[in-house]
Homo-oligomer: A and B are copies of this chain.
Amino acid sequence: MSEASALNNHLFDADTAVTAAADGVFCASISDRWHGLGGPLGGYLIAICLRALAEVAPAPHPIVLSAFFLRPGEVGAAEVRTELVRAGRRTSTGQASLIQDDRERVRILATFTDLNRWSSGRTAVLGRPPNLPDPERCVDPLADLPSGPATIAQRVALRTAEPPGWSRGKPSGQPAGEFWIRLTDDRACDLTALALLLDAVPLAVLELGELGSTTLELTVHLRGLPADGWLLARNQTRHLIGGVHEEDVEIWDSRGALVAESRQLAILASAR
């Protein structure tokens, strides 16, 4: 089986595919299979942009990206316009704009490198992975909730030690949580899929009784290729001020390695 047809067995790869249309310009199609409550998940749009940038970046691994969400994405055709901003010896930076109906929806900047080049550098990790019972002894936090428009629940599996307060109508008041997380179709998780998973973790502010937020900007650090299997995620909001909050997410792999961190700035739906 060719690599292309193997890839196409996985929805994630099919739904983030891009095809070259002109110099640095790619066509994509936004599916309805990666919706959060408010339409296509931001992390899904980021994954499409990363697929386009991978075609123009001279290095294989995105290690840091920043996405500004300008307007909601919509199901249907999209164009991704890329620019190779700088091609360097160690790192290269590109920009991608996802456009639908002549309106820019998301703009990202991302820096690429070859992570294998850094494997010999110094390591000192003070953080620790989330400590959860094995996934088989955990529960699906979404099991008792109507899925509604959030098709992402069919694509990304979550497990928690106990049903979270927000899933039982009793928010805990503590805006933090720990989750097992993985794609449901057993596709190996690469850096592009990690960027989506970071944004598929339920918002920490659900535990404050809030129903959702609009993300202004999301920064993603991709620190290493994850080992196979379930991943461990942790989220936290520490500063909600005047309806505006940060949300931090970490993802650790099954070997206990931190593989991704994200931070977003968002506005509560209730503050609009």
Q: Does A2 sit at the interface, judged by CB under 8 A?
A: no
Residues on B with beta carbons closer than 8 Å to the beta carbon of A7: none
A221 touches B (CB below 8 Å): yes
Is A51 part of the contact surface with B, judged by Cβ < 8 Å?
no
Task: Say yes or no for A253: interface residue by CB 8 A criterion.
Answer: no
- Determine whether the beta carbon of B258 is less than 8 Å from that of A239: yes
Q: Does A265 contact B (CB under 8 A)?
A: yes
Closest to A240 in B: B124
* Residue pair A111, B242 in contact (C-beta under 8 Å): no
A118 CA to B241 CA, complexed, in Å: 9
Within the complex, the shortest CB–CB distance from A16 to chain B, in Å, comes to 22
Bitwise, A248-265 to B at CB < 8 A (1) or not (0) is 000000000110010101
Residues of A within 8 A of B (CB): 63-64, 66, 68, 70-71, 85-86, 90-91, 93, 95, 104, 107, 109, 111, 115, 118-127, 175, 208, 210, 216-217, 219, 221, 223-224, 237-244, 246, 257-258, 261, 263, 265, 267-268, 270-272
Bound form: Cα–Cα A238–B261 in Å? 11
**A95 proximity list for chain B (CB < 8 A):** 107
Q: Which residues of B are found within 8 Å of A258, using beta-carbon distances?
A: 239, 241
